[in-house]
Amino acid sequence: MYRYSLVLAAIGAILFCAAGHALAQAGSEYQLPPVKLKPERPITTQPIPPTPAPAELEPEAVTPAPVPTVAPAAPKAPAPVAVPAPETPAPAPEEPVAVPTEAAPPAPAAEPKEALPPVEPPSEILWEAPEPAAPVEAPKAAPVEAPKAAPIEAPIAKPAEAPVAVETPPEPMALPPMPPELAGERAEETPPVAKPQKMRKPEEIQKEVVEAQIAPAGEAELAGQNEVALVEEVARTRKAYDRALVALKDYYLARANATKLDWVNSELAAFEQVPKIQYLGVAELASPTLRPTRRIEAADQLYAEGINYKDYPAFPPGKKDYLKTALQKFQTIIEKYPNSDKIDDAAFRMGEIYSGWYFQDYTRAVQCYERCWQWNPRTDHPALFNAAKIYDEKLKNRAKAVELYNRVLAESANENLKNQALSRLKALTGK
């Protein structure tokens, strides 16, 4: 059994050497970069221990350094070492040959340790040579080449430059004129150059301060205008101011500017609270010579909507808002459709709203009643009697009331109104 283990060990050693040779040949294909040793570092070599057959080894072979072993206190004969086969294959002996063992030099004394049980070497080792194998050559170290210095290239001489012919520059071409819109934009982009200010006298500065504190005078085109033109300008300016505030509110709302949005909301609320005095009513603006001669469907629809808003049952302050909407409907009929057959009806309804409890504008109510019978003398509405009653009871104009009561007696076909007018005439005149 021990003999077979030796044979397997020998075969393993041979395979290990063959594998090392193959690796050495594979490694020789790659050239390692040159290694430059430091001159100040001395090169030290370790002594190579003797081998079983030093004469037969090649000089290029490199033997690895021995690994020191620690021997027991009592020196004993070392374990037998298997000798590898020589390079030249030897004929296999017919009988096993005993290989003598060689004693290793004694190791230096070490600290006393616990004695190990002695190992008795076998009296003789029988070794059978394996089949002849191919000779294993030791790998050769690749020669280290010194790095070559890069060759110094000679400077390249530049060819002589040929003389360059100088050409005269062409005359500048006249550019087309810039469009006026682009010229204006270019002028806006270029900031004006600030001119040094001239020293001004104190009297001039004081005069400018006084003029800055004076309110600007009215525009020239408004001076000398009649009442109607001025009232229309006031109405137009109110609407423009309201539209500007609403547009400014939308601007701040789109940009989430909460502070300025509160400012414009407060100004809008204050503007709505300011009374918008109507200096001239639609009855004053319209001519007394208008006549209801045509039936217009749009005017009829506006009149029906105005009646619905006027008679809508509501409580204050909502009722007043409905009455304002009704006034706008009736005014639109008179302004947009002056020859409609609804203008006298619209004027009478406006007189009723102005003389009511919510407005109590009796002057304007009388004007609307007057336009009603002027535009349609045969109207069915009691415009003459209502105007006479306002002059009698509200405006305290006795002369005007008597005049209108007399006209009711002469022109009205309503007997009830005639009796009331006659009763008031007796009270006013004593007759």
Closest C-alpha to 368, from 356, 357, 358: 356
How is domain 290-429 classified at the CATH fold level?
A: 1.25.40
Q: Which residue has the higher pLDDT, 13 or 342?
A: 342
Residue type, 375: W
Report pLDDT digits (tens) over 181-210.
Answer: 555 555 555 555 666 667 888 888 878 877
Q: What whole-number distance in Å separates Cα of residue 398 and Cα of residue 390?
A: 10
Cis preceding linkage at 317, omega within 30: yes
Report pLDDT digits (tens) over 43-90.
Answer: 555 666 666 554 454 444 445 555 544 444 444 444 444 444 444 444
Write down the domain spans for the chain.
Answer: 226-273, 290-429
Percentage of residues of the chain with pLDDT beyond 90 = 38
| Model pLDDT, residue 70 | 47
Q: Which residue has the higher pLDDT, 80 or 9?
A: 9
Report pLDDT digits (tens) over 12-36.
Answer: 888 887 877 777 666 555 555 555 5
Report pLDDT digits (tens) over 356-411.
Answer: 999 999 999 999 999 999 999 999 999 999 999 999 999 999 999 999 999 999 99
Q: What whole-number distance in Å separates Cα of residue 349 and Cα of residue 353?
A: 6
The first and second tokens of residue 377, run together, are: 């003398």
Question: pTM of this prediction?
Answer: 0.45
Handedness of CA 377, 378, 382, 385 (dihedral sign): positive
The first and second tokens of residue 297, run together, are: 């469907």
Q: What whole-number distance in Å separates Cα of residue 130 and Cα of residue 85?
A: 9
| Model pLDDT, residue 161 | 57
Q: 3-state class of 13 per DSSP?
A: helix
- Which range, 279-283, 294-298, 426-430, has the best average confidence (pLDDT)? 294-298
Q: Looking at residues 139-151, what average pLDDT do you find?
A: 55
Burial status of residue 386 (CB atoms within 10 A of its CB: 0-12, 13-18, 19 or more): buried
Report pLDDT digits (tens) over 102-132.
Answer: 444 454 444 545 555 555 554 444 455 555 5
**Percent of the chain that is helix, strand, coil (3-state, to 5):** 45, 0, 55
269 φ, ψ to 5°?
Answer: -65, -40
Q: What whole-number distance in Å separates Cα of residue 368 and Cα of residue 306?
A: 16
Distance of CA 191 to the CA centre of its chain: 31
Query: If you search the block for the tokens 């409907």, which residue do you land on?
Result: 329
